[in-house]
Amino acid sequence: MSEPTNATPLRIYTLLCNRDVDRALGCLSSLHSFCRDPFQQTIIDDGSLMPRDIERLHEAIPALEILSREEVEDQVGPKLQGKVNCQLYRKNHIFALKLIDSAMLSPGAFAQCDGDVLFLRPFQGFDRRPIGGEDVVFMKDSTTAYSISYLNRHFRHGRLRLPQFVNAGFMYADAGVFDLDFIEWFLGREEFRRHAWVMEQTAWAALGGRCRTHYFAPEQVAFPRGNMYFRDDSVCLHFISPLRHHLDDREYTNELTRRSSAHYASLAMLRTEPALYAGPLRDLSGRLYRRLRLRD
């Protein structure tokens, strides 16, 4: 599936809303400061960005492409003719823009990077085309959160092969990974829609189960901790919603910058590792462990 090593710059897509612009400005700027792979970043407006938001984004990062909902619809809508499940999902769930629209907008391999991923040091390797052998690369989470119930995942008709621990907030997808017909089928299955808020992530995991799937090394692409501990080779931190308040803490972010600045002189290469899969017993034990830990 890989494209030639002399391919065009990697397309990176970020879904953004008005509420998150302040945080995203710092995170997006850090990507443009530290990523050494040639890339073109496109902001997909969820429909809430105001004219001043767009001005601020362009002032901070002139190279950004920002697509309004209308522009996205003009480009993607015609490609979904006859795909009634995809159309309904896009109408009702904003995360459809991360599942369907990024792939439909991209002419080949692409990446997605949420607006709450803060980069710490110079790096390369987000673009996996020169490396080859990796069809899709996700961030490795500490838990597995999918929209499919345990029974439907492992035992009932239509069960899917799903890698564990998929987080689609920072990911790379090679050309040909996204299968629109498969997604149309997936979105039409009621048993796959138990938890709507993770349908997009589950669909990406299902696509990953059909090809050569990897994770970015979790010590390099990590989640922040309150004590600001991170390894010397950490490249970025993903401030998911329970941790996003740290981005509003100036003392926290200043100290993070101070500590990571010691590594500005060296270039980190993103590493990967093969995805993990779990049968019924292993998945069940992991679910029980997570529930017990949450009670502590």
CATH code of the domain occupying 10-295: 3.90.550
Q: Which whole number is the average pLDDT over 101-112?
A: 96
**pLDDT value for 255:** 86
Instruction: Report the alpha-carbon distance of residue 140 to residue 119 in Å, rounded.
Output: 17
How many Cα atoms sit within 13 Å of 187 on the Cβ side?
24
Q: Which residue type does 59 have?
A: E
Read off the pLDDT band of 228 (50, 70, 90).
low
* Strand, helix or coil for residue 273: strand
The tokens for 118 are 């803060």
pLDDT digits (tens, 9 = 90+) for 121-175: 999 999 999 999 999 999 999 888 899 988 888 887 768 899 999 999 999 999 9
CB 174 within 8 A of CB 1: yes
Contacts of 231 (CB under 8 A, 6+ apart): 219, 220, 222
Contacts of 146 (CB under 8 A, 6+ apart): 153, 162, 195, 198, 201, 202, 205
CB 270 within 8 A of CB 126: yes
pTM: 0.92
**pLDDT value for 292:** 62
Read off the pLDDT band of 296 (50, 70, 90).
very low
What are the residue boundaries of the structural domains of the chain, listed by start? Answer: 10-295
What are 119's strand-pairing partners? 236
The tokens for 231 are 């390894």
φ/ψ region of 27 (left if φ > 0, alpha if ψ in -120 to 50, else beta) reads alpha
